[in-house]
Amino acid sequence: MRPLHLPLAAALAALLLAPAALPQERSEIEKEIHDWGESVAKKIEIQESADVPAWAVRPGEPRFRFVQIADIHLTPAKEELLKSALRYVSTEVRPAFVVLTGDNTSIYSIEGHRRLKAILDEELTCPYHAVRGDNDARNFWVVFGSTHWSFDYGGVHFVGSGLDRDIETVGIGTFSEETWEWLRDDLARSSGRPTLYLQHEPCLPPTFLDAPRLALLLSARRNVVGVLNGHLHYDLEFRLAKPHLSAIALGQNPRHGIKVYSVYPDGIVAQTHVLDGESFRAARIFQRIDFPERLRLSGDEPLEISDRRELPAAPMVFDEELKERYDELRLWLKRFDSK
């Protein structure tokens, strides 16, 4: 599958200037958005290739690896799946750390989050960092702390974030002005380092109300080399000045996958790993994130987590009034689909 490239100015104008239509019933628009996303995602999900692309074959070992696990949607029935994936990560991949990009559990009580944390602590042999999604937003902050954080590792800057206001279990919400200020400041502080932005909901395609504003911010920051998301459950890639990768879901995709990122001085090679029978394997599904020459790594950067910053942990604000803005999102999606 070829990544989808959109003309930057035209795409952002379409997203930012789309007019609102007359309100419709929430359930009707939810179904329309879901059906649209499902139909498009199935058509364009990345499939295994016959050969390994030449750019994915690198001499020597990467500087480090990290793993993205998306959309676990943990329930008692999925505990063994999660444990199997984490054991594979710990014994076969051996990354520097793991990032969980939301919808980590479908049981969003405090006890549900604590059960997830207990499994992670038991099975992983490396640190992990989590952001909240729409299905696990309630009580996330009690167990996992802030969903807004950043840190450096091996010369790369990582920024994780999540919505502050939303309709519960929907994922179309907005950021607070405090979060916008923090994001602008953090991205400016990391201007000399290749930066990855992580969030559950993608801004490409526009899946939440603040997506156009976020897309503009990320596109304007030259240090942001890639955007990593979940939410859509399928293995997808879009490009708007830089790659936006939506990871395969561990819990909600029939292939039950994770994403492994190998970081080299000039960029990152991403590879999907999927469940094959009773064990995981590396699939021939590759993606790339290139570093501009001025942001390439020297190889001397410390392989340790440093300069960690975060906003204070806070609960999600659930706001049913956002349902009045469903048509904005529906029209943005239609504009996106027409590009």
Q: How far apart are CA 72 and CA 34, in angstroms?
A: 19
Query: Residue 14 above 70 pLDDT?
Result: no
CA dist 147 to 110, 315, 335, Å? 16, 10, 30
- Biggest CA pair distance of the chain: 58
Q: What is the spatial distance between Cα 176 and Cα 316, in angstroms, rounded to a whole number?
A: 10
Report DSSP state, residue 249.
Answer: B
Q: Round to whole Å and give the CA distance between 194 and 267.
A: 9
Domains, the chain, ranges and CATH? Answer: 4-45+62-338 (3.60.21.10)
Instruction: Using alpha carbons only, give the angle 267, 149, 208 rounded to the nearest 5 degrees.
Output: 85
Contact 47, 272 (CB under 8 A): no
Cα distance between residue 203 and residue 156, in whole Å: 22
Average pLDDT over residues 250-270: 96
pLDDT surpasses 80 at 273: yes
Predicted TM-score (pTM) of the model is 0.90
Show the tokens assigned to 120.
């992670």
Going by C-alpha positions, the residue among 136, 150, 108 that lies closest to residue 200 is: 136
C-alpha distance from residue 231 to each of 38, 87, 117, 186, 228 (Å):
11, 23, 20, 24, 11
Q: How many residues belong to the chain?
A: 339
* Mean pLDDT, residues 161-165: 98
- For the segment 120-158, what is each residue's pLDDT rounded down to a tens digit? 999 999 999 999 999 999 999 999 999 999 999 999 999
